[in-house]
């Protein structure tokens, strides 16, 4: 058969066969030469192989070293740090900071809003206090399901903060860690004790109405209801309210 008449598949198979036969012949020839060579040559070759293996083995662990997994303490510290960048105080616009904050809330950067627990005392026009002594006026845009949303003017220059994911109650697990920074600025930890129609029940102390509770990843679980210590308004209520106002949810 003329080699020019072979198909591409047949050429590939022929190449593989030639390489295989060549490899086998090379191996047999090498073994035969080593058997007939002086002992000094065999020892030299063995030393080279051993040194090569030792060098590769010594370098291999350095290439696969991975960074140690963060400890639970590191996760707690990072989550509380992220939560602290979103803590806001809500003042009446007409009185400003001359009077104590009426409530506290959490800033959602991607949605450009502040979410807090709905209360009768909340002003329609508010002055929002951000970390670092930044104050920006806002308006009450919507409320429902125990949540109140404050929005800012499109021209307002808002501070930067880490954007949390709003965790649905169905994604929570009993015994999961819950972290919060209370209205007095103190940090507290607890666990998810129960999830029901009335809200998310945790072992957190009274963190104050509107204060945020987050998980170990810094994602928002809910807001303090301000009625029962440890009771949270689910973050899903914020998602529903943002959808009702046409505001993109975080």
Domain presence at residue 250: no
Domain presence at residue 172: yes
Last residue of a domain, one of 25, 46, 63: 63
The residue count of the chain comes to 250
Residue span of the structural domain in which 46 resides: 3-63
One domain, residues 42 and 94: no
Q: How many domains are contained in the chain?
A: 2
Is pTM beyond 0.85? Reply is: no
Last residue of a domain, one of 23, 43, 63: 63
> Mutual orientation of helices 8-36 and 39-64 as an angle, nearest 10°?
130
One domain, residues 177 and 213: yes
One domain, residues 86 and 23: no
One domain, residues 116 and 211: yes
- Residue 79 vs residues 71, 130, 243: alpha-carbon distances, Å: 12, 18, 26
One domain, residues 235 and 183: yes
One domain, residues 9 and 54: yes
| pLDDT tens for each residue of the chain, 250 residues long | 566 666 777 767 767 877 777 777 676 766 666 566 666 656 666 676 677 666 766 665 655 556 677 788 899 999 999 999 999 999 999 999 999 999 999 999 999 999 999 988 899 999 999 999 999 999 999 999 999 999 999 999 999 998 999 999 999 999 999 999 998 899 999 999 999 999 999 999 999 999 999 999 999 999 999 888 999 999 999 999 998 866 655 5
Domain presence at residue 220: yes
Domain presence at residue 198: yes
């Amino acid at each position: 058969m003329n080699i020019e008449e072979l198909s591409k598949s047949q050429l590939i198979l022929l190449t593989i066969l030639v390489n295989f036969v060549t490899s086998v012949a090379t191996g047999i020839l090498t073994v035969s030469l080593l058997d007939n060579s002086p002992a000094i040559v065999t020892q030299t070759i063995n030393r080279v192989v051993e040194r090569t293996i030792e060098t590769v083995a010594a370098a291999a662990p350095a290439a696969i070293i991975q960074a140690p997994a963060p400890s639970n303490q590191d996760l707690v510290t990072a989550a509380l740090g992220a939560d602290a960048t979103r803590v806001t105080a809500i003042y009446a616009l007409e009185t400003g900071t001359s009077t104590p904050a009426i409530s506290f809330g959490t800033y959602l950067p991607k949605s450009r809003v502040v979410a807090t627990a709905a209360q009768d005392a909340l002003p329609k026009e508010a002055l929002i206090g951000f970390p670092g002594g930044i104050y920006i006026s806002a308006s009450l845009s919507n409320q429902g399901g125990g949540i109140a949303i404050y929005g800012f003017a499109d021209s307002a220059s808002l501070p930067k903060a880490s954007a949390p994911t709003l965790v649905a109650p169905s994604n929570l697990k009993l015994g999961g860690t819950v972290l919060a920074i209370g209205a007095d600025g103190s940090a507290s930890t607890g666990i998810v004790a129960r999830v029901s129609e009335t809200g998310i029940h945790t072992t957190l102390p009274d963190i104050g109405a509107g204060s945020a509770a987050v998980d170990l990843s810094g994602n928002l679980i809910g807001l303090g209801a301000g009625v029962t210590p440890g009771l949270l308004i689910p973050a899903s209520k914020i998602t529903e309210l943002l959808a009702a106002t046409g505001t993109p949810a975080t």
